[in-house]
Chains A and B, each alone.
Chain A
Amino acid sequence: MEDYKFLFKVVLVGNAGVGKTCLVRRFTQGLFPPGQGATIGVDFMIKTVEVENEKVKLQIWDTAGQERFRSITQSYYRSAHALILVYDISCQPTFDCLPDWLREIEEYASNKVLRILVGNKIDREDREIPTHVGEDFAQRHGMYFLETSAKEAENVERLFMEIAAELMEQARSKELPRYETNTTSINGKTTSIGDTSNCGCSRLS
C-alpha cells in the first residue's frame, strides 16, 4: 500500500507554447527548464502534497498543445478530477482559442470536473490580455481563475495546492451521502422497486 489518502488526476490543456510543461516542472521539480521542447503526446508526473495533514497524491497529465496530438490528449479528459486550461497572457491567439478548448472539455470531460483557467507568463512585459478580461471569461464559464508565472514561480504552488484542497473537500462531502443511500429502506412490495432503485443508483452513477 502506498502512503496516501487521496489520489487525484489533474490534466493540463491549452495551446502549444503557453507554458503547461513549465508549470508542471516548476511545481514538481522546482525549476524552470531552459529550452523546453514541445510535449509529444502526454507527459506524466506525480507529486504527493499534504493538505490539512492528509497526504494527497496528484497525478498530473501534461498534454501536448499541438493539434496532431488531440486524439491522444482527449482520451485523458474523462477520468480527470481537475482540468487546468492554460493561456499565455502575452499572446492573444492563445486566449482566443479558449472557447474551442471549452467545447472539447464539454464533449469529453465529466461534467463534475473541477475547471481552472490559468493565465501564464505574467512576468512578461508585453501583456496582451488584461487580468480582468481573463477573470470575466472564467466567471462566465464557471471556472476558477489564477494568473501565474512558471518562470518566476508565481502562484504555481498555490495553483496546485488549491486544486488539491478543493478536490479533497469535494471527496469528503461526497463520502457521507454515499453511505446513507446504502441503507435505503426496502418495503417488500414489488411495485416499489423503481423507487428504491433510484436511491441505489445515485450511488452507482
Chain B
Amino acid sequence: MIRHTNELAENVSAKVRQLDLARSRVYECQRRVNDILDLQLCSEGVAMALCNEDYEQGAAHVHRYLSMDQQLLERTAEDILMDHTNVSSSLITLQQAALQLRTVVTHKFDEAVKSEDLASVERFFKIFPLLGMHIEGLKKFCSYLCTKLQETAQKNLKAALEIKSNDKRASVIFSDTMTLLFEGIARIVEIHQPIIETYYGPGRLLMTISILQKECDRQVKKIIAEFMKHRCISKKVQIVNDYIRKPSSERADPKEFDLLLGEITIMHSRAELYIRFLKRRVKNDIEISVTNDAQYKDLINEFKSMINNSDLAHGMQELLGAYLALERYFLEESVNKALGMDTLDQDQQTSSMVDDVFFIVQKCIRRSMSSWSIDGVCAVVNMACGILEGEFANRLRNRLRQGYPAGYLDLAQAYSTLQTSIQHGRLQTSDTELARLMFLAYLNNTDVSIEYVETLCKSLSSEIDATFPNMQNKERGKIDSCLSGLKGVMSILRAVNDYGLEQLRVSAVKPRVTPWVDAFLSVDHHINEDDLLRYETEEPFVQTLIMNLEGLLQNFKGTLTPSNYDALIGLLTTEVTARLEKVVLKSTFNRAGGLILDKEIRSLASYLAAVTSWSVRDKFARLTQIATILSVEKIEELADYCGADAIAWRLTPAEVRRIASMRIDFRPEDVKRLKL
C-alpha cells in the first residue's frame, strides 16, 4: 500500500515537473513571440522616427531593442526557419537604424553645442543613454561644461589682471579668482548631478568630476602662474632663503609679506574646501551605486589618486611651500625685531618683547591654520618651537646671565648708593638700577612666557579640533607630536627661570641674609629666669631678622610676578633656615635660651608662611626639631620625641646627641646614655 502511494506520489510530482517545464517553455515562447513582434515594430518605428526627426521616439525603440536578450534574438531568428529572412531583416534594419540614430544624435548634439542652443544640448544629452551611449554622452556633455568653465575662468582672470591697485580687493584678487573657479565647478556639479543621475543612473559622478577636474587643473595652473608672476613669488622666496643662509644679504621688511601670506592661505583653504566638497559628493554617489566593499574602496582610491595627481594638488603644494618659506621669514624677522626693540615701561612687570613675540607666534600659527593644511600647521608650529627655544630663550638667558647687580642692595637704597658709587668711580647708579630692573623684568618675562606657551598650546589644540573636525588618526598623531614639541618649550623656559632665580639667590639673597642671621651668634642664649619674660615678648633676634626680611621682600613684591615672588620667598626661606641651623649649632643654650629659640623659630615660620601661598613648614622641620630638643625640661623626654613612632622626625640619633650636648645644663654622661 505504502509502496503504491509512493509510486503514485512520484508519478504525480514527475507530471507536475513536466507541467512546469512545459509552462516555462510556453513563457519563453511567448516572450520570443513578443520580442519578434516588438522587433518588427521597433525596426519600422525607428525608420519612421528618423524620418520625422522624432529622435526621442526613435531612441525609445532602440532602447526597447537593446533591452531584449540579444543572443536569444539571434537564436530565435535561426529557429523560425520559414520566417528566417523576415526576422533577420528586421534585425538588420534595426541595427542599421540604431547606428544611424547614434550618428545623427551625436551630430545634433555637437551642432547644439556650437550654436549654444542649451535646450537642444540637454535634449540630446538625455537621448544618449537610451542609445546605450552613456560614456560618450557623459564625455561630450562634460567637455561642453568644460568649455563653459573655461570661458568664465578666462573672463575672470582677465578682469583680475586689470584690477586697479587701489581697489579694495587688489591684495586678494588671485584668491578671489581662484574662489570663483571653484565655486563655478561646485555649481556645475550641484546643478547637473541630478540630471545625470536621472538619465544616466547613479555612479557617474566620478567620471564627470574627473573630466571637469582636467579643466580645473588647466585654469588653476593659469591663475597660479599669473599669481607667481604678479606677486613676484620666486624672487621673494629667493631673497628670503638667501637671507636665512647669509643674513648680510638683501633683506625684506616682513610686514610686506603680511597680505601676501594671507592671500596664499586663502587660496589653499579654498582648494581644500573644494576638494572636500568633491570628496563628499563622489563618496555619496559611489555609496548608492556600488554593492561590495572592494569595489567601493577601489573607486574611492581612484578618486583620491585622481586628486593627488592633479595639477591642482601639485599647484597647492607649490603654493604651500612658498607660503612656509615666507611665513618662516615673517616669524623669525618679526620676532627678532621685537627682541631688538624691547622696552621696559615704568610700572610694568615684563618688558615689551614677551607680549610682542607671543602675539607674532600666535598670529603665524593662526594664519597657518587658515590654510586648512595640517602639514602647514605642523610646519609653522615647528618653526615657532625653533624660534622660542632658540633666539627667544637665548635672549632671556643672556640677560639673566649678566646677573642681578648686588653691590648695593636694593632699589630703596639707590639714592644713598649714588654718592658712594660716584666716589668709587664705578657704575652709575642709574645704570645699576636699570640693570636690576631689567634683570627682574626678564625673570618675569620668563615666568610669563611659560604661562603663555601653556595657554597657546591649549587654545591651539581646541582651534585645531574645530578647523579639522574629521582628522584621521595619523594626522592627529602628527599634530599632537608637533604640539608636544611646543609644550617642550615650557621646560626649557622653566630651566631658564630656575637659572635666573639662582642668580637672584646668589647676589640678592644670600649676601644679605647671612649677616642678618649671623647676628644670632652675638646674642646670649643663657638666659636667667628674670629676663625670660622680656625676651619672650620682645624676641630681639627674630624680630630684627623679620624686619630685615620684610625690607628685602618689599623691594621685590610689586616688581616680581606672583609666582616669581613666591619662588623668591621659597629660596629666601631655604637660605635663612639653612644658615640659622648652622649658627644655632655653633651656640650653647640653657633651657630658657632653648625656649626662646623655640618661640622665635615659630614666629619666623609663621611670618614666612603668611607672606607666601606655598607651605614653608617642610623647610622649617629640622629647625623646629632642633629647638624642641633645646627646650625640653628633662633629657629623658627626648626618647619620646625621637622614638620609632615619630614619623616626621628628621634628625639622626647622632645629631640629637650633638644638639642635646649644646644644653649646658645637661650632663655629658646623660647625653651619652640617651637611648634613641
A and B pair up: yes
Residues of A within 8 A of B (CB): 37, 40-44, 46, 59, 68-72, 75-76, 78-79, 107, 186, 188, 190, 193-194, 196-197, 200-201, 203-205
B residues 295-346 in Cβ contact with A at 8 Å:
305, 308, 314, 317-318, 320-325, 328
Q: Are A71 and B379 in contact, with the CB atoms below 8 A?
A: yes
> What's the tally of chain B residues with a CB closer than 8 Å to chain A?
46
Nearest residue (CB) in A for B322 is: A71
Query: Interface segment, B281-289, B474-482, B546-554, B665-673?
Result: B474-482
- Could you write out 12 A-B pairs with CB less than 8 Å apart? A68-B318, A68-B321, A71-B320, A71-B322, A72-B321, A72-B379, A75-B382, A78-B385, A186-B506, A188-B511, A190-B405, A203-B495
Contact A201 B511 (CB under 8 A): no
The 9 closest A-B pairs by CB, nearest first: A71-B324, A41-B375, A193-B403, A75-B382, A75-B379, A197-B401, A190-B406, A44-B478, A71-B321
Closest chain A residue, CB of each to CB of B492: A204
Q: Which of B237-265 contact A (CB under 8 A)?
A: 244-245
Closest residue of chain A to B480, judged by CB? A44
Task: Collect the chain B residues with CB atoms within 8 Å of residue A46's CB.
Answer: 477
Q: How far is B322's CA from A2's CA once the two chains are assembled, in angstroms?
A: 38
Complex-state Cα separation, A200 to B380, whole angstroms: 31
Q: Which residues of A contact B193 (CB under 8 A)?
A: none
Smallest CB separation, A62 vs chain B (Å): 11
Q: Which of A71, A194, A200 has the most CB of B within 10 A?
A: A71
Known: A75-B378, A188-B506, A204-B397; 11 extra A-B contacts, CB below 8 A, are A40-B375, A68-B314, A78-B382, A79-B382, A79-B485, A107-B244, A186-B506, A188-B510, A188-B514, A193-B402, A197-B401
User: Which chain B residues numbered 484 to 535 have a C-beta less than 8 Å away from chain A?
Assistant: 485, 492, 495-496, 499, 502-503, 506-507, 510-511, 514
Known: A107-B245, A190-B405, A196-B506. A70 touches B499 (CB 8 A): no
Asked if A75 and B506 make an inter-chain contact with CB atoms under 8 angstroms apart, the answer reads no
Instruction: State A190–B383 Cα separation when bound (angstroms).
Output: 38
- A-side contacts of B511, CB under 8 Å: 188, 190
Chain A residues in 8 Å Cβ range of B507: 190, 193
B376, CB-defined interface residue at 8 Å? yes
Q: Which residues of chain A are within 8 angstroms of B324 by Cβ–Cβ distance?
A: 71-72, 75
Contacts of B380 in A (CB 8 A): 75
Is B407's CB within 8 Å of the partner chain A? yes
Q: Is the CB of A37 within 8 A of B308?
A: yes
**Cα A193 to Cα B500 with chains together (Å):** 11
Inter-subunit contact A197/B499 (CB<8 Å) = yes
B478 touches which of A42, A193, A196 (Cβ 8 Å): A42
Is A200's CB under 8 angstroms from B474's CB? no
Q: Which residue of A lies closest to B394 (CB)?
A: A205
Instruction: Please report the C-alpha to C-alpha distance between residue A76 and residue B305 in the assembled complex, in whole angstroms.
Output: 26
CB of A79 within 8 A of CB of B506, answer no
Pair B474/A44 contact, Cβ less than 8 Å: yes
Q: How far is the CB of A83 from chain B (nearest CB, A)?
A: 15
